[in-house]
Amino acid sequence: MNYLLKDENSIYYECGYSCDNAIFVQLGSESFFITDGRYELDARLGCRDGVEIIIDRDLISVAKRLLISNNIRKITIDPQEFSLFDFNELSSGLGVDIVLHKSFSQKKRIIKTQKEILLLNNAAKLGSEAFDNFISNMQTNMLGCDEFRLTHFAKEYLSFQGRYELSFSPIVAINSNAAKPHATPTDTKLNNNDLLLIDAGLKFERYCSDRTRTISVKDSTNCSLSQYFDSQEKQKVYDVVLKAYNSAIKEARSGMKANQIDKVARDIVDSHGFGDYFVHSTGHGVGLDIHELPVISSKSETIIEDGMVFTIEPGIYLPNEFGVRIEDTVVMKNGKAEILGV
């Protein structure tokens, strides 16, 4: 099969190396990695054996010449990986049939190999350790700090002081700001008895971790799933989300459709009258990308299989009051979901 990749993670999956300016070309059994001179040394060190490295400023022209000189008739690309501009450059005067295959690389990556599961498990372990470190230092260092500073602390712990890349910019949100699923930091300062939501992850050898905890800030703050809130309403919502999270993980089975897993979590939230406040999907695949396939939503018909890795992250968001989300990343193994990193 002939295909052409432009996304950094899609390319990494094929080559074992990637950078922010590269094109990968697969022609039958031959693999080509095209980048510019800045990355030559790293590419030669990093790419798997058998990948031919080509250094040139004009990546697309090189790719076109490869297709023409190899008499290629048909090449597959993912229309999400190419800007319209790059596609027009590629297709102009090419005379090759370009097949558009949405999520081409993510579909190849949906079942993780044993090695990938090990890497994802390592990422999750480190992420879990970072959450523990972050939360156990909260009482000594973080009371009185605003969300900007708390987010910075989260980055410090999650990156292990710069050792690891982050999967995404952490969300650290207090009380009403936690009611926004994609909260950005504010001046609000952390006090005892606050509700604090932390959604964060790191990358281990490019594979992402993803976790969310919602905690009650107290003298004995900890990262466990048993949290005790002063407010009855917060406790009620927390317990519903926890039940949805536990049930979805417990009941997930290989062979189910993704929307059946979503339904397990959503039915519990619905049955307690909070259905309108669970405003997102139950989960998403995790791998080289922090969001990849499978999507665990009410619409997703994907059949869940062993080797798939995805989040379970039900949430309830009461606008201007507070929000609760609990999230872990699981792998399907022997037909069931196992939480990574424990």
Task: Note the residues at the interface with its own copies (CB under 8 A).
Answer: 37-39, 41-42, 77-85, 87-88, 100, 102, 148-153, 155-156, 159, 161-163, 180-182, 185, 279, 319
Q: Give the sign of the dihedral formed by CA 116, CA 262, CA 296, CA 323.
A: negative
CB of 153 vs its own copies, minimal distance in Å:
8
CB of 168 vs its own copies, minimal distance in Å:
11
Please name the residue ranges forming H helices in 255-303. 258-271
Q: Is 225 helix (H, G, I), strand (E, B) or coil?
A: coil
Close Cβ partners of 322 (under 8 Å, ≥ 6 residues apart)? 175, 176, 178, 179, 195, 234, 237
CB of 170 vs its own copies, minimal distance in Å:
10
Amino acid letter, residue 325: R
Contact 29/305 with Cβ under 8 angstroms? Answer: no
Taking the alpha carbons at both ends of the chain, their separation in whole angstroms is 39
CB of 175 vs its own copies, minimal distance in Å:
15
Task: Kindly tell me which of 185 and 201 has the beta carbon lying closer to its own copies.
Answer: 185
Task: Kindly tell me which of 155 and 234 has the beta carbon lying closer to its own copies.
Answer: 155
Task: Kindly tell me which of 230 and 276 has the beta carbon lying closer to its own copies.
Answer: 276
Contact 202/126 with Cβ under 8 angstroms? Answer: yes
The residue written with tokens 């990308």 in the block is 289
CB of 313 vs its own copies, minimal distance in Å:
14
Task: Kindly tell me which of 85 and 220 has the beta carbon lying closer to its own copies.
Answer: 85
**Which among 232, 231, 230, 227 has a CA at the least distance from the CA of 214?**
227
Task: Kindly tell me which of 136 and 159 has the beta carbon lying closer to its own copies.
Answer: 159
